[in-house]
Amino acid sequence: MVLSAAGQHLLRVSRPGAWGQHLLRVSRPGAWGHHLLRVSRPGAWGQHLLRGIGSVSTTAKGFQEKEIREKLQAFPGGSIDLVKQESGIAVLTVNNPARMNAFSGSMMVELEERVSQLEEWTEGKGLIVQGAAGTFCSGSDLNVVRDISNPQDGMKMCMFMQNVLTRLLRLPLLSVALVEGSALGGGAELTTACDFRLMVPGGMIRFVHKHMGLVPGWGGAARLVRIVGSQNALKMLGGALKVDPEMGLQIGLADGVLEGSLDGSGANALLEAEQWLGCYTTGPASVIRAIKNVVVSGRELPLEVALRTERDVFGTVWGGPANLQALASKAKHK
């Protein structure tokens, strides 16, 4: 795969240790300008991003990814279930209730497979990520964590999950994390890999990493800063704060609070989340997916590249069936 200059730049900074060097490099006067100039083929990176990134790390692909997968498969348990619905909204369920939906190694691999399936789902418009049996996800399975506590294995798992969650967030689907019960550690990180978070009363998002002698490694800190700002992120990580629905709304982590289960089955919360999401996914898939794509490029790419990508995406809907139908119906927007 040939990457544009911007793509190569992003991949380069994703190598452990390279970011520090990058910071030093861009801190020289004019270096950032050079970077912008190096982004000489903006369309290529934008297209690459919109096609769905295979990997955010140079070394998480190829035989090394195979090695990581094999390692993770050695820790079985639970499942990641995917239901694609006629409505264009899919439901992804983290399913390991005996361990409060903690991620076993095989579940990490399954998550990658489900994300691949969603990348191929061209009719899709929305995605709800939930936990089974009334709770969201308690992060990594601590039994796995203990068994791979050496730095090499930890780094491999971290790269694998960073890659998967980055691809999850970049899907051309409007995604919602439905937080019922607790989202702890990696579970909290998973909520930030969705576009929106809906919380049920009694629900909690908590980055407990500090209490585990860790920091987030699945990309959760980088995404959290973009969602709530660095001040709030510092408080959440530094204090391992319990973010309940009220605080979630206050700091912009939660996008809504649902009524929740009537019978403890989680069915009502899911219905409510589908209704909430339906407000944003009503319409043709081509348009909804284009909306997500322009927002992803605006969020992730340098302005010049994002503008070029926006033009490319615009070209996919201009004069398209939905556009022509709207023109023919002389739609008024009162």
Ligand X SMILES: CCC(=O)SCCNC(=O)CCNC(=O)[C@H](O)C(C)(C)COP(=O)(O)OP(=O)(O)OC[C@H]1O[C@@H](n2cnc3c(N)ncnc32)[C@H](O)[C@@H]1OP(=O)(O)O
Residue 48 token pair: 């690459």
Residue (164 or 290) nearer to ligand X, CB: 164
Residue (102 or 171) nearer to ligand X, CB: 102
Residue (184 or 285) nearer to ligand X, CB: 184
For ligand X (CB under 6 A), the number of binding residues is: 18
Is residue 99 a contact point for ligand X (CB under 6 A)?
A: yes
Nearest distance from C-beta of residue 162 to ligand X, angstroms:
11
Cβ burial 280-292 (10 Å sphere, 16+ → b, else e): bbeebbbbbbbbb
Nearest distance from C-beta of residue 65 to ligand X, angstroms:
19
Nearest distance from C-beta of residue 1 to ligand X, angstroms:
29
Residue (9 or 242) nearer to ligand X, CB: 242
Position among 102, 111, 233, 296 found at the interface with ligand X (CB under 6 A): 102
Binding to ligand X (CB under 6 A) within 206-265 occurs at: 208-209, 212, 214
Binding segment (CB under 6 A) for ligand X, from list 10-18, 132-140, 262-270, 287-295: 132-140
* Residue/partner pairs of 298-306 with CB below 8 Å, 24 or more apart: 299/226, 300/49, 300/170, 301/6, 301/42, 301/45, 301/46, 301/49, 302/6, 302/35, 302/36, 302/39, 304/36, 304/39, 304/42, 305/6, 305/39, 305/42, 305/45, 305/46, 306/46
Query: Sign of the C-alpha dihedral, residues 19, 20, 22, 26?
Result: positive
User: Contact 144/71 with Cβ under 8 angstroms?
Assistant: no
Position among 42, 131, 139, 172 found at the interface with ligand X (CB under 6 A): 139
Is residue 138 a contact point for ligand X (CB under 6 A)?
A: yes
* Residue/partner pairs of 249-255 with CB below 8 Å, 24 or more apart: 252/227, 252/228, 253/197, 253/205, 253/224, 253/227, 253/228, 254/179, 254/197, 254/198, 254/199, 254/205, 255/176, 255/196, 255/197, 255/198
Name residues whose C-beta falls within 8 Å of residue 298's C-beta, 6 or more positions apart in sequence: 306, 310
Binding to ligand X (CB under 6 A) within 155-194 occurs at: 182, 184-186
Query: Which position's Cβ is nearest ligand X?
Result: 139
Nearest distance from C-beta of residue 105 to ligand X, angstroms:
12
Binding segment (CB under 6 A) for ligand X, from list 94-102, 233-241, 242-250, 256-264: 94-102
User: Contact 184/131 with Cβ under 8 angstroms?
Assistant: no
Residue (186 or 248) nearer to ligand X, CB: 186
Binding segment (CB under 6 A) for ligand X, from list 3-11, 42-50, 99-107, 221-229: 99-107
Residue (49 or 208) nearer to ligand X, CB: 208
Position among 60, 100, 108, 253 found at the interface with ligand X (CB under 6 A): 100
Nearest distance from C-beta of residue 142 to ligand X, angstroms:
4
The residue written with tokens 């709800």 in the block is 128
Is residue 22 a contact point for ligand X (CB under 6 A)?
A: no
Tell me the β-bridge partners of 322: none
d(CA 248, CA 250): 5
Nearest distance from C-beta of residue 149 to ligand X, angstroms:
11
Nearest distance from C-beta of residue 189 to ligand X, angstroms:
6
N residues, the chain: 334
CA angle 182, 192, 207 (to 5 degrees): 50
Nearest distance from C-beta of residue 216 to ligand X, angstroms:
7
Note the residues at the interface with ligand X (CB under 6 A): 99-100, 102, 138-143, 145, 182, 184-186, 208-209, 212, 214
